[in-house]
A and B are shown apart, each in its own frame.
Chain A
């Protein structure tokens, strides 16, 4: 089945620890995105990548890092510099080679809930 997978479903972080959230897609999409969602709030963009080996900061990139070595994969590292990491993290992807409202649609993975111990 084609889709986006995220792992783990739940992740616990200790003080001072870096943790990495996985995002994989087999939709052959060029662009991938990481969002953070806090209770009662909309999604906020952390990082995005439109093509392999390239990525840009979103609105709340501080304390996070990413890599895009393969088209299928866009892992997110939550570093110890992120002081309030508890949130629901969502990865999304979309194709970029065509235009129109349909192709602006992003498809989401099931998310990872990060909790601080």
Chain B
């Protein structure tokens, strides 16, 4: 079983749609959680951290369910510029090495 699992997609949605991505992780000791965005042939960039209480940044909402070891990302009112691969990322257990475990990513294509 992969440490971080995501549906690779692609998710093809029209502009203005709401789309949700899910992610599961295997290590219950993981402490920090993130969504990164990666454009084609570019480096990953932090989209948002994910907090236990859930958090929102504009059109993006992230949720964490520690009991189910499940993370989600909701994008409302999709824009063409949201087309990218979204990486679910967790810290490796409770160690302080700063090691991150990356999912393979979910690809989103927003169509006009």
Contacts and interface: CB of A to CB of B under 8 A. Distances in A.
Interface residues of B, number: 27
A48 B4 contact: no
B98 A90 contact: no
Interface string A63-88: 00000000000000000000000001
A42 B98 contact: no
A104 B43 contact: no
B97 A50 contact: yes
Contacts of B51: 101
A109 B44 CA distance: 9
Nearest to B107: A40
Contacts, number: 63
A101 B87 contact: no
A110 interface: yes
Interface residues of A, number: 29
A90 B43 contact: yes
Given A41-B104, A101-B33, A50 B44 contact: no
A101 B104 contact: no
B99 A108 contact: no
A106 B98 contact: yes
Interface of B: 4, 8, 31-34, 41-46, 49-51, 87, 91, 96-105
Given A101-B50, A107-B46, 16 more contacts: A41-B104, A42-B101, A42-B104, A44-B102, A45-B99, A50-B97, A50-B98, A90-B43, A96-B96, A101-B32, A104-B32, A104-B34, A105-B49, A106-B98, A106-B100, A109-B43
